Structure 1
Amino acid sequence: MTATVRAVNDDDFDEAVQGSGRPVLVDFWAPWCGPCRAMGPILDAMAEAHDGTLDIVKVNLDESPQAAQKHGVSSIPALLLFSRGEVVTTLVGAKPRTVIEKAIAAYL
C-alpha cells in the first residue's frame, strides 16, 4: 500500500496531529484556491517519499474552519509542521517541493 495524504476535519484533527508518533505536515486548503490545488501533487509525492517518517494531512477550510482558526491560519495554502503536537514550521503560499523539504528536514 502506498502512502497517501489523508483528509482530516475539525472532529479528528487533534487525534491525527497529537496522536501521531511522527511529525505531521498539515495542509490548510480550499477547493476554490488554485495555488492550493497546485500543491496537491507535490504533497502526494512527499507522502510517498516520507512514508513511515512523516504524516501529511489536508484540512479543507470550507468544511473545517475551527482547526485553522485555532492555529491562526489566515491565508492559504498554509503548511504547518507539527512535531510532538506543537507547530514548529509554517509556510504560507504555494511553495516548490525543495523549499518544503528544506523547511521540514530538521524534524524528520
Structure 2
Amino acid sequence: MLCKLNGLIRLHLSGNKMKKFSVNWNCLQNLVVLDVSGNEFSTLSTHLWEVLPSLTTVDISSNPLYCDCDIIPAIKELSKSPTSSFNQGYAICVAPESRKGQNIFEISNSACKDSHRAYCRLQ
C-alpha cells in the first residue's frame, strides 16, 4: 500500500504499538523523515537506510530499546548529523540492565569492542 506513494517525503507512524517497520526495495524512495516514536521497537536496523536512500531523519524516541552492541550501527546512522534524529533525549535503553535508563547516543562503541574481546578470550 505504501509503495504506491512515490512522492511521500514524511511518514509519521508514532504511537501505533508497532514492533517493526519494513518496506520493500524501490518503495518510498523519496522518504526523508520517518517518525516511529512511541511504538514498541526494541531495535533498529541499518537496513532501513539501505532501502530508503533519501532518508535523513528518524525519530525512534519513546520506544523500549534493547541497547546491546547490535544497535551500534544504527546509532552511527542516527548520529551522522545533528538533524538525523528527532527527540534524541528520549531515545532511552530499557535493557540490558547495565544500560537501563541510558540514552542510546551515549553508548560507547569502544565498550562493545572491549566486551567482544573479553567474550572471545573466554571461549
| TM-score after normalising by structure 1 | 0.27
The answer to which structure, 1 or 2, has the higher relative contact order (CA under 8 A, 6+ apart) is 1
Choose between structure 1 and 2: higher strand proportion: 1
| TM-score after normalising by structure 2 | 0.25
